[in-house]
Amino acid sequence: MKKCPNCGTQARDEWTLCPSCGIDLRKAAGILGRDYYVPLESEPVFTGTAGPAQQGMIVPPLVAAVPARPVPVPGYSSNVWLILLLFGTILAAIVWAPLAWICVVLSGIAVHVDAKYLHAGNYQKETFSSVTWNPFSWALLVFIWWFVGMPFYLYRRRLIWETYRDDIR
Ligand SMILES: [Zn+2]
């Protein structure tokens, strides 16, 4: 959990928007000039020649309330190759085991390339939350524990994309 620096609401680590005020939590520090929350009453009061209007303007929530879960962002497209590889590996495991091992290696490489393209983790500190995992960690998980790693990556891919989509361009 992290605290919104604008309104103080608790937000889950993988969320990019504050559930209460809607501020982009990755840009909040830049917008507000700080990355921690300051309650209104403890905010230093403007001591210049300003009138009361300016005192009332201290850290207003920037955006009106938004739904707790950000609305899915349009523009996402699945990686068809990874989905084909998922079913291809299962098929290979049934038909001819050596081919399945080749598919597992290919899956690890494909996930690394894909996660790198999505800027997964974006070189931040990795935590228990899977959106912070970097491409190498994903590839390693897929490589050593394919049956969990591969479906989990595909399940998490959209959230990774939503989290880092601003960095992809
Ligand atoms: Zn907030």
Residues constituting the chain: 169
- 117-126 average pLDDT score: 87
Beta-bridge mates of residue 17: 24
How many angstroms is it from 31 CA to the middle of ligand 1? 12
Q: Which residues contact 114 (CB under 8 A, 6 or more apart)?
A: 79, 82, 157
Please return the burial class of 159, using the count of CB atoms within 10 Å of its CB with bins 0-12, 13-18 and 19+: middle
3-class SS letters over 32-54: HCCCCCCCHHHCCCCCCCCCHHH
How many angstroms is it from 121 CA to the middle of ligand 1? 22
- 55-71 average pLDDT score: 53
Q: CA-to-CA distance for 86 and 124, rounded, in angstroms?
A: 28
How many angstroms is it from 24 CA to the middle of ligand 1? 9
pLDDT at 71 over 80: no
How many angstroms is it from 164 CA to the middle of ligand 1? 19
Distances (CA, A) of 146 to 26, 40, 42, 98, 108: 32, 50, 51, 15, 8
How many angstroms is it from 50 CA to the middle of ligand 1? 27
pLDDT at 106 over 70: yes
Cβ(167)–Cβ(75) below 8 Å: no
pLDDT band at 56 (very low <50, low <70, confident <90, very high): very low
Q: What is the pLDDT of residues 25-43, one digit of tens each?
A: 988 888 888 888 887 766 5
